[in-house]
Structure 1
Amino acid sequence: MKIAFHAPLKPVDHPVPSGDRLMALLLLSALEALGHQVSVISALRTYLKEPDAGRYADLVQQASAERAQIAKLWRDHRAPDLFFCYHPYYKSPDLLGPPLCREFGMAYVTAESSYSERRNIGAWADSQALVKKGLDLAAVNICFTGRDRQGLIDITPSTITAMLPPFLDQRLPISLVATPERGRLITAAMMRDGNKLESYLMLAAALEQLGDLDWRLDIVGDGPMRQTVEAAFAHFPANRVMFHGLKARDDLAAMMARASIFLWPGCREAYGLTYLEAQAAGIPVVAQNDGGVPEVVIADKTGLLTAPGDITAYATAIRSLLTDESRRTTLAKGAARFAREERSFEAATARLGNILETHVHKD
């Protein structure tokens, strides 16, 4: 098929790395691997940090002009068979796809849509109304977590959904042989305010309870809250915690292969592709049973999951793997098998192909 692709939250060429940008790129690659002709139809970003009516009106006006240009292009040439929208939700509604699909009679598909009734505030209420219309219009809404899928069904029971669990980047060097160093811990995440910062602060608090053990933590990541994150770990003895900034994919994979445990609490994490990358490197994860984390870390098989917000439980889980090498090794093997086989790019591409073949009918 000829597919128009749009990511209203963060365009695929956005300069700031994130899980959203990576997943958009992975979906693009998977669609192309299936043999489809895919084009990114617009770089329009409709992100609304706050329910600002004036800002929303500006976005609607920009989208109207963008749609007019796209429609002219499609009238002069063949229109796509499918409009594929990644991650429309109340802060970044799809202002392009549904109107264009209705005008040109093409199929509409969303991936990682979400809806939250408690966000029906000001302009967000208007944007969510558009998200809901898109859900109803879509031939299928692809969900990455059971929680998101249930949220869509709760809003509109007739909504058509399909599951595509989060998956690995096909460019990830998973052929590296794991050479774990006892006591070497690693975490990797952007340093932003909100859930990311909360996770960093929780990690620092948990490690305070493990001062009697021999461990070293490598922190990979950067962002506007770096000074705050560094301050949270500043009281640890020298050489306990090392900050490495951002790392290229291959370099991070090599660092993970030398680590023994991946740590990231994941406060209200959507799912976290980094968890899969760590497991593919052959190391188990210690995280919280929060948000979409259980979709990418299988409790007691690929890692340990603790109750949300329980710092002592989190510290205890880390201690158990630092002091029980047999258990750590068993989880490491399970982690590598799960990530490399069940959540491989190839397996996900096949799942995506089946979803589209089932729900999108091209004449």
Structure 2
Amino acid sequence: MRIAFYAPLKSPDAPTPSGDRRMARLLMAALRAGGHDVFLASRLRSRDGQGDPALQARLARLGARFADKFVQRCESGIIAKPDLWFSYHLYYKAPDLIGPAVARRLGIPYVVAEASNAPKRADGPWAASHQRTLDALGQAALVIGFNSRDEPCVAPCLGPGGRYINVKPFLDGLPYLINPSAGSDLRAELGIASDEPLLLAVGMMRPGAKINSYRVLADALSRIPGDRRWALVIAGDGAGRPEVEASFAPHRRRVHLLGAVDAARLRFLYQAADILAWPSINEAYGMALLEAQASGLPVIAGDVGGVPDIVIDGATGLLSPEADAEAFARNLDRLLLDMDLARRLGVAGQEQANNSHSLESIAGQLDMALQALAC
């Protein structure tokens, strides 16, 4: 199939790294691995983070104009007509302003991956964008979810004949190679004692959920008995860095902020650490959690969103209620006191990632679901 791909929240070729950009790229790769001809249909970013109806109206007009041009180019033969439109990540702050119109006018299936429905936004400053998201879901022939907790709220929004399926978040390049010397190399680089358990946190430092996750992590570390040995390495940067630094000020001798790191450096950090610790405030599922498990790291995280679809509590990691610093601290302390358990969880997590979260396995599932639309 020739597939027009669009990500209204963040284009897969956007310059700033994020989990959304990563998943958009992975989806395009998975579709291509299934034998499909995938092209980026638009880079229009429809996000309104402030709840500005005037901005939403202006973006809607831009989307309508783009849809008109796209359809005209297809009908005139300037570009080959796609067999299917595929949009990634729809929600009230970033509705799809292009795909539904194009799919309807060209008579092709409209497919959505990762959508959310926020009924509380039916009134208020995002009401128009919320309704546009509902309209898109009502037109969708197929909605693909990566978070099993989304289905009860999203599936009822589908129209007659619409289908909802769950697939697991996934990674490319599995199985990951393991570097046995990474831990000693990083400890030597940062001046950390060889017998000190090494914690890792990975997250952008932007206001909102990410900063709140850092705050909960800092709070949890303050609740661990003072005689426990540990060091924390943080990979991430952003406008909220001063707040993060302030949160960890009581632990400054034990905390190493590395700033933004590239993919190779991040892979090295996963290989070097003993435990991935991330409270996961308002997390959809958490690509860093999956990457950590694929690298053999046990994960301590918050029981929120689709995180349990990746981290199996007691089997590949430990989960605590969202934003509960005391419970998070207990899980951290449990592994700090039992590093053999930490290693067992890490081995199990790596096995799960390799068996259930590879790009190749998901590519086959996506291909079967899309081929069914052509029948």
Do Structure 1 and Structure 2 share a fold, with TM-score over 0.5?
Answer: yes
Q: Is the 8 A contact 1:8 1:87 kept in 2?
A: yes
**1:87 partner SS:** strand
- Structure 1 partner of 2:86: 84
- Structure 2 partner of 1:230: 245
The offset of 1:68, in angstroms, is 2.0
- Structure 2 partner of 1:134: 136
Structure 2 residue identity aligned to 1:87: H
- Structure 2 partner of 1:119: 121
2:165 to 155, 158, 162: 162
- Taking the aligned partners of 1:53 and 1:330, their CA distance within structure 2 comes to 51
Structure 2 residue identity aligned to 1:90: Y
**1:112 partner SS:** strand
The offset of 1:285, in angstroms, is 0.4
- Taking the aligned partners of 1:157 and 1:104, their CA distance within structure 2 comes to 19
2:110 to 102, 108, 111: 108
Residues 192-211 of structure 1: per-residue CA shift (max 9 Å, x gap) = 11111111001011111222
The offset of 1:354, in angstroms, is 1.9
Q: How does 1:11-160 map to 2 (within 5 A)?
A: 11-77=11-77, 78-156=80-158, 159-160=162-163
Q: Is the 8 A contact 2:174 2:354 kept in 1?
A: no
Q: Is the 8 A contact 1:110 1:140 kept in 2?
A: yes
Residues 42-70 of structure 1: per-residue CA shift (max 9 Å, x gap) = 11111011321211111111112211221
Residues 5-35 of structure 1: per-residue CA shift (max 9 Å, x gap) = 0101111121221111111110011111111
- Structure 1 partner of 2:341: 327
- Taking the aligned partners of 2:345 and 2:331, their CA distance within structure 1 comes to 13
The offset of 1:310, in angstroms, is 2.0
**2:74 partner SS:** helix
Structure 2 residue identity aligned to 1:126: A
The offset of 1:157, in angstroms, is 8.2
Deviates more, 1:219-228 or 1:159-168: 159-168
- Taking the aligned partners of 2:102 and 2:135, their CA distance within structure 1 comes to 13
2:298 to 284, 307, 310: 284
- Taking the aligned partners of 1:275 and 1:192, their CA distance within structure 2 comes to 18
Equivalent residue pairs, number:
359
The offset of 1:279, in angstroms, is 0.5
Q: Is the 8 A contact 1:222 1:246 kept in 2?
A: yes
**1:235 partner SS:** helix
Residues 237-272 of structure 1: per-residue CA shift (max 9 Å, x gap) = 52x110101111121111111111000000121110
Structure 1: which 5+ runs fail to align?
A: none
Query: What is the TM-score normalised by the length of structure 1?
Result: 0.95
Q: Is the 8 A contact 2:53 2:128 kept in 1?
A: no
**2:250 partner SS:** coil
- Indicate yes or no: 2:235 matched with 1:220: yes
Q: Percent same amino acid at aligned positions?
A: 38
**1:275 partner SS:** helix
The offset of 1:178, in angstroms, is 4.9
**1:20 partner SS:** helix
The offset of 1:172, in angstroms, is 6.6
The offset of 1:173, in angstroms, is 7.4
Deviates more, 1:68-77 or 1:331-340: 68-77
- Taking the aligned partners of 1:249 and 1:172, their CA distance within structure 2 comes to 15
- Taking the aligned partners of 1:121 and 1:165, their CA distance within structure 2 comes to 32
**2:90 partner SS:** coil
- Taking the aligned partners of 1:262 and 1:178, their CA distance within structure 2 comes to 17
1:301 to 315, 334, 338: 315
What CA RMSD, in Å, does the superposition of the two structures yield over aligned residues? 1.7
Q: Is the 8 A contact 1:67 1:96 kept in 2?
A: yes
- Indicate yes or no: 2:329 matched with 1:315: yes
- Taking the aligned partners of 1:137 and 1:155, their CA distance within structure 2 comes to 9
